[in-house]
A and B are shown apart, each in its own frame.
Chain A
Amino acid sequence: MSDIIIQARGLKRYYQRGIETVKALDGVDINIHTGEMVSVLGPSGSGKTTLINLLSCLDAPSAGTLSVAGKEVGGMSEEGLTEVRRGVLGFIFQKFYLLPTLTVAENVELPLLFLGRNRDRAATMEVLKQVGLSDRVGHLPRELSGGQMQRVAIARALMIHPKVLIADEPTGNLDKANSEAIFKLFQHLVTEQGLTVIVTTHNLALGYLADRVITLEDGRILKEERGVAHHAEPELSKV
């Protein structure tokens, strides 16, 4: 097995809602290895998004230990978490959050601005080629379909060459064909580039396309299974 890039032990995230304590995540142990694709499944309220927010350093755990790319992030400040995220983690969300006045290329290059790097049009073209949008460089987001916009969001996440790509319900706004295409793209990035991908989804068929499937229930891991990736071309409708 390859190196562990994210490791969590006894990971908890509690929220206070009035006098009630909500245990969104209640003691999760998890190892994410470099170059694997992991799906997190579970019904609404099972803790999928909470887990992925913690693993991606967007939120801080209430208890437990969490190591990302070799750094212990438990107890880190907001600024500290930002530093861990920068250049290590790439993000994709259900909503694409593309800037409407920027072209496809400019949206993709946006993270470079925050990392203090110069624009690299060749690299931009490369990632757009990977996501199949090399012919949409100068288009504005409103000129794209939902699937194309999510591909731009993926290209934007890939632009900084992250070690881990984290996708929270990336197909929530897409139709079946586009959803399948996005997951196939994830598979491609894992197999061809050795990228680590963590993805949450409600769609079991898509979820089982990963190397490993983690199912959550009531903030705990219900089961861990092997997915179908690398074994055969899946017949999505039957999974």
Chain B
Amino acid sequence: MKYLSLALKNLLRRPLRSILTIAGVALAVAVAVSLSGFNLGYKRAINGSIEKLGFQVMIMAKGCPYEAATMMLKGGTGLLYLPNEAFENVRKDQEIKSITPIFIGVSQKEGSNISGDSTKSFTIIAGIDVPSFRDMKPWMDFKKGTGYDGGRWFAEDSKQEIVMGFEVAEYEQRKVGDTFYASITPKGKPDAVMREFKVVGVLDRTGTQDDGTVFMPIAAARTYFNQPNDLTIIGVKLKEFSGVKIKEFESRWLKLPEVQVVSLEQVKGTLVSLVGTAQAMVAAVAAIAIIVAVIGVINTILMSVYERTGEIGIMKALGARRGDIFQLIWLETLAICLLGAAVGCVLAFVGSQLVELAIKSLINLGVTGSIVYITGEVLAWAMAGAVALGFFAGLYPAWRASSMRPIEAIRQGE
């Protein structure tokens, strides 16, 4: 018989009470692990999404920075435009390694109406310059397989050829060689015009907004939308990527009217701040859950000590020292916390998908991919936290039990 074995057997004396206390700890740990996983996963998702933008700096029309950040990652319909002169000016900058102009417009889908869900009613159309765009995103490739083989980029002077992103092609059930219809309203015109396009390629999944975008030559897009001199974004890669260089670049081009320069770091900060309040609230809930769990553990162990006063007295009479009793009670507390933590980790791991769905339904996070990322390190920290929790929660009950005088304990137990 060892102390740990004895402690575990003592917990079995009141199984329901032990299970409820363990459940309380498990819940607190599950919340804490999920929150940590969310923090970690969200930062990871932001980094991943921004890295896949391919740009280090974006130049776009002045407006809300939140809108700018999320538009780049999630798309949007409230588009602002900057003049083509801005691109012509910026491309002369000696610090630029590569630069690409992007025109974004939205077309109404076949059979949909504007009053419906905008994400289902509209298709994002991006007019791009293929060579410079590919230079920004060299990882982009065409989907392979039956119906997709032979995918290619459109000819620069083509008016009818398009390349579809992975998801939009799946949603619209289009393959290479198919026809795609888009209802485009030219700027300044009251009515939409139905356009017919030929799909020349379907892109492989990127995990970014590109998956939901239809690409066409920038000249064609500007023509269809009747905005021959407009751009939505100018994507820029600098020769040297550093905070100083970006600041210098920003100060050089902020002089242009109606233009804002947004670096990736700013976008990250903006997106993190978007969910900062929600994270603080969830952290507060986790903290409350942990405090309640600690109180529950202390209460359970104190009650157990009170019920076993006579037994503790007899143990002391049989030769148990203060340290022995302290160790026994402390191990019981620790066992509850560790078991609770283990269950909580499993709950968090299994429930992370549900948590993700819940968070995504409540907040527009502006990122794609998984946002709850539970690592071994997070789980190890949770277990370590449970040990610390058990250590502190067990101190008072263990001290109280070990401080009992044997004769008084035996007398109380009779």
Most chain A beta carbons < 10 A, residue from B311, B317, B406 = B317
> Contact between A102 and B321 (Cβ–Cβ < 8 Å)?
no
> Contact between B319 and A58 (Cβ–Cβ < 8 Å)?
no
A3 touches B (CB below 8 Å): no
- Closest chain-B Cβ to A164's Cβ sits at a distance in Å of 13
B189 touches A (CB below 8 Å): no
B1: which of A58, A82, A87, A113 is its contact (CB, 8 Å)?
A113
Q: A131 to B324: give the CA distance in the assembly, Å.
A: 28
* Residues on B with beta carbons closer than 8 Å to the beta carbon of A113: 1-3, 6, 324
A93: which of B3, B405, B410 is its contact (CB, 8 Å)?
B410
Q: A85 to B13: give the CA distance in the assembly, Å.
A: 29
B407: which of A53, A79, A102 is its contact (CB, 8 Å)?
A53
Nearest residue in B to A89 (C-beta to C-beta)?
A: B317
* Residues on A with beta carbons closer than 8 Å to the beta carbon of B317: 56, 58, 85, 91
B310: which of A86, A91, A97, A160 is its contact (CB, 8 Å)?
A97
Q: A53 to B406: give the CA distance in the assembly, Å.
A: 10
> Contact between B405 and A110 (Cβ–Cβ < 8 Å)?
no
The DSSP consensus for interface residues of chain B is helix
- Closest chain-B Cβ to A148's Cβ sits at a distance in Å of 18
Q: A113 to B319: give the CA distance in the assembly, Å.
A: 9
> Contact between B13 and A91 (Cβ–Cβ < 8 Å)?
no
Most chain A beta carbons < 10 A, residue from B2, B311, B319, B413 = B319
> Contact between B319 and A97 (Cβ–Cβ < 8 Å)?
no
> Contact between B311 and A79 (Cβ–Cβ < 8 Å)?
no
> Contact between A109 and B1 (Cβ–Cβ < 8 Å)?
yes
B13: which of A82, A100, A109 is its contact (CB, 8 Å)?
A100
> Contact between A97 and B1 (Cβ–Cβ < 8 Å)?
no
Mask for A87-115, Cβ within 8 A of B = 1, else 0? 10001011101011110001001111111
A119 touches B (CB below 8 Å): yes
A217 touches B (CB below 8 Å): no
- What total of chain B residues lie within 8 Å of the partner, measured CB to CB? 27
> Contact between A91 and B321 (Cβ–Cβ < 8 Å)?
no
- What total of chain A residues lie within 8 Å of the partner, measured CB to CB? 31
Nearest residue in B to A94 (C-beta to C-beta)?
A: B414
Q: A85 to B410: give the CA distance in the assembly, Å.
A: 16
Q: A201 to B218: give the CA distance in the assembly, Å.
A: 106
B370 touches A (CB below 8 Å): no
Task: Give B1-26 interface residues, CB cut-off 8 Å to A.
Answer: 1-3, 6, 9-10, 12-13
> Contact between B318 and A156 (Cβ–Cβ < 8 Å)?
yes
With contacts A59-B407, A106-B1, A114-B324 known, is A101 near B13, CB below 8 A?
A: yes
B182 touches A (CB below 8 Å): no
* Residues on A with beta carbons closer than 8 Å to the beta carbon of B318: 91, 110-111, 114, 156-157, 160
> Contact between A119 and B1 (Cβ–Cβ < 8 Å)?
yes
- Closest chain-A Cβ to B318's Cβ sits at a distance in Å of 4
Task: Give A54-90 interface residues, CB cut-off 8 Å to B.
Answer: 56, 58-59, 78-79, 82, 85-87
> Contact between A82 and B311 (Cβ–Cβ < 8 Å)?
no
* Residues on A with beta carbons closer than 8 Å to the beta carbon of B413: 95, 97
* Residues on A with beta carbons closer than 8 Å to the beta carbon of B414: 93-95
Q: A111 to B410: give the CA distance in the assembly, Å.
A: 16
Q: A110 to B316: give the CA distance in the assembly, Å.
A: 11
Task: Give B327-353 interface residues, CB cut-off 8 Å to A.
Answer: none
> Contact between A110 and B315 (Cβ–Cβ < 8 Å)?
yes
* Residues on B with beta carbons closer than 8 Å to the beta carbon of A87: 319
* Residues on B with beta carbons closer than 8 Å to the beta carbon of A82: 316, 319-322
- Closest chain-A Cβ to B3's Cβ sits at a distance in Å of 7
> Contact between A114 and B321 (Cβ–Cβ < 8 Å)?
yes
B314 touches A (CB below 8 Å): yes
* Residues on B with beta carbons closer than 8 Å to the beta carbon of A58: 317, 406-407, 410
* Residues on A with beta carbons closer than 8 Å to the beta carbon of B407: 53, 58-59
- Closest chain-A Cβ to B305's Cβ sits at a distance in Å of 14
* Residues on B with beta carbons closer than 8 Å to the beta carbon of A119: 1
Task: Give B167-185 interface residues, CB cut-off 8 Å to A.
Answer: none
Q: A82 to B403: give the CA distance in the assembly, Å.
A: 13
- Closest chain-A Cβ to B313's Cβ sits at a distance in Å of 8
* Residues on B with beta carbons closer than 8 Å to the beta carbon of A93: 314, 410, 414
- Closest chain-A Cβ to B102's Cβ sits at a distance in Å of 71
- Closest chain-A Cβ to B311's Cβ sits at a distance in Å of 5
- Closest chain-A Cβ to B412's Cβ sits at a distance in Å of 11
* Residues on A with beta carbons closer than 8 Å to the beta carbon of B319: 82, 85-87, 111, 114-115, 160
> Contact between A110 and B1 (Cβ–Cβ < 8 Å)?
yes
- Closest chain-A Cβ to B2's Cβ sits at a distance in Å of 7
* Residues on B with beta carbons closer than 8 Å to the beta carbon of A86: 319
The 6 closest A-B pairs by CB, nearest first: A86-B319, A97-B314, A114-B320, A101-B9, A58-B407, A114-B319
- Pull 26 A–B residue pairs with CB atoms less than 8 Å apart, ordered by A: A58-B406, A58-B407, A59-B407, A79-B321, A82-B316, A82-B321, A85-B317, A85-B319, A93-B414, A94-B414, A95-B413, A97-B310, A97-B311, A97-B410, A99-B10, A101-B12, A102-B6, A106-B1, A110-B6, A112-B1, A113-B1, A113-B3, A113-B6, A114-B319, A115-B319, A160-B318
- Additional pairs, 17, CB under 8 Å, beyond known A82-B321, A112-B1: A58-B406, A58-B407, A58-B410, A82-B316, A85-B317, A87-B319, A94-B414, A95-B310, A95-B413, A97-B313, A97-B314, A101-B9, A102-B1, A102-B9, A110-B1, A110-B6, A113-B1
**Chain B residues at the A interface, C-beta cutoff of 8 Å:** 1-3, 6, 9-10, 12-13, 310-311, 313-322, 324, 405-407, 410, 413-414
